[in-house]
Amino acid sequence: MVEVTLWGSLSTVAGGKAKHEIEAKDIRELFRKLAEQYPGIEPWIDRGIAVAIDGTIYRDTWSKELPPGAEIFLLPRLAGG
């Protein structure tokens, strides 16, 4: 079980809650379970969500494991120049 924190706007499509307890071993499973619980989150995942694990931001490595006790923070996927 990991505790996941959603950024402000994303929490509006996840029952208005910023913090969620999810049983997930990696980013892929985390996204799948969030989408099952809150279908409104799916378009956001399609558009791109980055995952910060203990402060390190992952954008595409969906196989990245979520270590127990790690701080998991969802963020918008960013543009760069």
Partner 1 sequence: MNFDPRFSGRKFSSVGTRPIRPDGVDKVTGRARYGADFNMAGQLVGRVLRSPHAHAVIKSVDTSKAEKLAGVKAVITAKDLPDLTDGDTAMYDILDNSMARKKALYDGHAVAAVAAIDARTARQALKLIEVDYEVLPHVTDVDEAAQHHAPLIDDTIYTEGLEEKPAKPSNVTKRTQFGHGDVHSGFAKADFIVERSFKTEQTHQGYIEPHACVASVNADGTADLWVCTQGHFVYRQHCAQLLGMEASKLRVTSSEIGGGFGGKTHVWAEPVALALSRKAGRPVKLVMTRDEVFRASGPTSATSIDVKIGARKDGTITAAEATLRYSCGPYAGSWAEIGAMTAFACYKLENVKTVGYEVLVNRPKTAAYRAPSAPMAAFAVESVVDELAKELGMDAVDFRIRNAAQEGTRSSYGPVYGPIGIGPTLEAVKNHPHMKAPLKANQGRGMACGFWFNFGGQTCTDLNIGMDGSVSLAVGTVDVGGSRASLSLVAAEELGIDYSQVKAIVADTSSLGYNDMTDGSRGTFSSSMATISAARNAILILRERAAQTWDIPVDDVVWEKGHAIAKGEKYGNLSPLSLKDIAAASGKTGGPIAGHSELVADGAGVSFATHICDVAVDPETGSTRVIRYTVVQDAGKAVHPTYVEGQYQGGAAQGIGWALNEEYIYGKDGRLQNAGFLDYRIPVCSDLPMIDTQILEIPNPNHPYGVRGVGETSIVPPLAAIANAVSNAVGVRMTHIPMSPPRILAALEAEREG
Size of the site for partner 1 (CB under 8 A): 26
| CA proximity to 5, closest of 76, 77, 74 | 74
Q: Is 69 in the site for partner 1 (CB under 8 A)?
A: no
Report the C-alpha gap between 45 and 36 in whole angstroms: 12
CB-based contact 30:22 (threshold 8 Å): yes
Q: Is 8 in the site for partner 1 (CB under 8 A)?
A: yes
Q: Which of 25, 59, 65, 67 binds partner 1 (CB under 8 A)?
A: 59
Q: Is 65 in the site for partner 1 (CB under 8 A)?
A: no
Q: Which of 1, 21, 23, 47 binds partner 1 (CB under 8 A)?
A: 47
Q: Rg for the chain (alpha carbons), in Å?
A: 12
Q: Is 36 in the site for partner 1 (CB under 8 A)?
A: no
